[in-house]
Structure 1
Amino acid sequence: MLKKVRGKPVNNCFTLMAAAPDFNAPAYHNATQTTASLNAFHGQWLILFFYMSDFSFV
């Protein structure tokens, strides 16, 4: 059974070398709150890092 995040079913598995689904998420960059979008990095190499246990700065 898939978990639901914000009312949408999600699969916790990923596949190496597969394209990540597009998303928009709140982000903190250069001392301001902004929105991060995967589409903004289209055609570029990108490493996605998520740490959801707490909101401390890594």
Structure 2
Amino acid sequence: MGIKEMVLERCRKEGREESQINFVKKLLLAKRFTTNEIATFVGVTESFVLKVMKSLNK
């Protein structure tokens, strides 16, 4: 894998994570779902959801 491919893969990963964070924030703000449900919907861990929740409370 060349440098170009490595940079592109990293950008994709960062973009995907940013999208997941935004989706988790929206679901948390809806106040209809548990952290476990949100984690399942988004495809992340519950600890990821809790970290996002913590950042919203700052």
TM range (shorter): under 0.3
Between structures 1 and 2, the one with greater strand share: 1
TM-score between the two structures when normalised by the length of structure 2: 0.23
Query: TM-score scaled to structure 1, two decimals?
Result: 0.23
Q: Which has the higher contact order (CA 8 A, sep 6+)?
A: 2
